[in-house]
Structure 1
C-alpha cells in the first residue's frame, strides 16, 4: 500500500513539473509532421504521428502540371527549429514554380478537423519562406507581388475558393512587395501594421481570433517573432500583454463575418502564384520563377499557453531525476 502510494506521489510530482511544457489541456489541434524518415508527397498520407484534432488523410490540389510547371507539397523528415520551442518529426515543404502558360499555378494540402472550437482561438506555427522570386512577364509588376502562402481553417467544400468565413495566417501576403505577413478574419477588410520578414529564416507566428462561431464578427491579430525577439519576450515573462512590445511585427484585421472552426472544415496549407485573388484574369498568372514555404509545429488552442510549447529547462530535468532517485531509494529500503 505504501509502495503504491509512493509511486503515485512521484508520478504526480513529475507530471506537475513536466505538465506545463508537455501537456496543454486546451490544445485542440496539433500537427508536428511526425511521419518517419523519408521525404514523400503529403497527398494521401494518413494523419498520425502524435497529431491531434485532425482526421483522415491529407488531400492535395494543384494547378496546371506539365511543361515545366511544378506544384509540390512534400513531407520533409527534417523539422524546423526555433529557440526553446518543442518540436517533433519533420515539416511540410511547398513549392510552386510556374512557366508562362497563363494558368493558375497553386498547391493546396488539407486535412479534416475532428474538433469544434468557439470563442477566442489562438494559433501558432513555425514557418520559413524559402524563395520568393516570381516575375510577371506580361504586366511588368514587382516580381515579389505575385505569390501567397497561408494556413487557413475553412470549409472543405471551398478548399480552392476565396469565400468568406475563414481564419487565415499568411506568411506571404498577396499583392505585397517583399515578403509581407498578416492574419485575416475572413477575406474582407484590410491589415494594418504589416511588416516584412527575411527569406530562409524561421519565424514563430502567433495568431488570435476572437468570437469564433459567434455572430457579428471579430478580430484577427498576428505577432511574428524571430529568435532574438522571442527570447527577449520570454526572458521578460512571456506575457500576452507584452507581445506588441517584443514582436517584430504586429498585424490586425477585423470583419463582421462569422468564422468557425469545426469538424465540417479542414486545415488548409497553400502556396500559389496569383497576385490578387483566385478568380482574376489569365494575365495575373503569366508568371515565371518560384515561391516556396516550409511549415511546422502547427497548434490551435484556447489560450496563449496552449500554443506556446517549450522544452523544459535542464534544472527541471535535474529535479525530476532527484525525485525519482529518492523514490527508488525509499522503495529499496522497504523491501
Structure 2
C-alpha cells in the first residue's frame, strides 16, 4: 500500500518502493489464489500447510489413476522466483505453473512460502527454505504427530528433488550445497536439483555478459553480504567459494533461456560442475526463444510445455 504523506526512501524499480515511514509498496506481483481440492483442468488437488510460525507451503497432489494409485510419487520442493522480494507460493502465476507441472510430471509438489525482503533481509529466505526442506524430510521417520498425510501416504523419500526459477533456483543451489555437509532428517538424500534461469552474478563478466540490475537487487536483498556481489551465495565461482564438488545431490538439471541476460553464467555453472570432480550427472537445457521468466508468464506456451516434459523425464 502506497503512503500518501511520506517521501520515498528507496526504490527497486520495477519491483517495489520503500517510503520513509517504513511503508513498502510492491509494484508488481500476481494476486493470490486459493488452493483447490480438484482443479477442473488438471485434476490436481492442492492445499496450504503451516510448517512453522514463519514458513508455510502449498502442496500439490496429481490426480491418481489405477496405475499410480498404489505408487509413491517423487517429491519436488519448489522455491518461487521474484527477486527475493515479490511474488509468492500462493500467487496466481506460481500456483498455475506448479499445478500444471504436478499434473504433467506426476510429482507431489511442495511450493514453499518463505519470507521476503526488505521486511526480512537475506539470509532469511535461505533459512526458511532449509527449515521447510528439513520439515519435509522429517516425514520419512516415525513419530511426530505434526505431519502432513499427503507426504506420508504418497511421497517417495528416496526421490526428493528441489528446484526453482531465477532467485528460487539460487535458493535451490544454496540448499543443495548445504545438503552436501549438513544431513537432512531421516537420512534423506537429495536425488536431484533443478535450476531454471538461476540467479547468479559477480563483479567480473563471463563470456559475452553485459551489465545487469542483479547487483542492485542483491545489495537490496542482502546488504550485509560479505564480499557483496562476490559472495558465494550469488557467485559460486568467486575466489574462496566452496567447491561445487560439494553439491549434495546426485543429478542436476540447469535450464537457461536463449534470450535471458544470465544465460552465459548458467552455462558456465554447468561447465564448472562438470570439471570440479562432482560425482553426479549434470544436464544443460537451453529453452529456445525464451526470455527471463517467459515459461512462468505463459505456462501453456510451447517453451513451457517442452520444459515440463524435460522435467518429467528428469524426475523419472
Structure 2 length-normalised TM: 0.30
Structure 1 length-normalised TM: 0.29
Higher RCO (CA < 8 A, seq sep 6+): 1
Flag the structure with higher strand content: 1
Flag the structure with higher helix content: 2
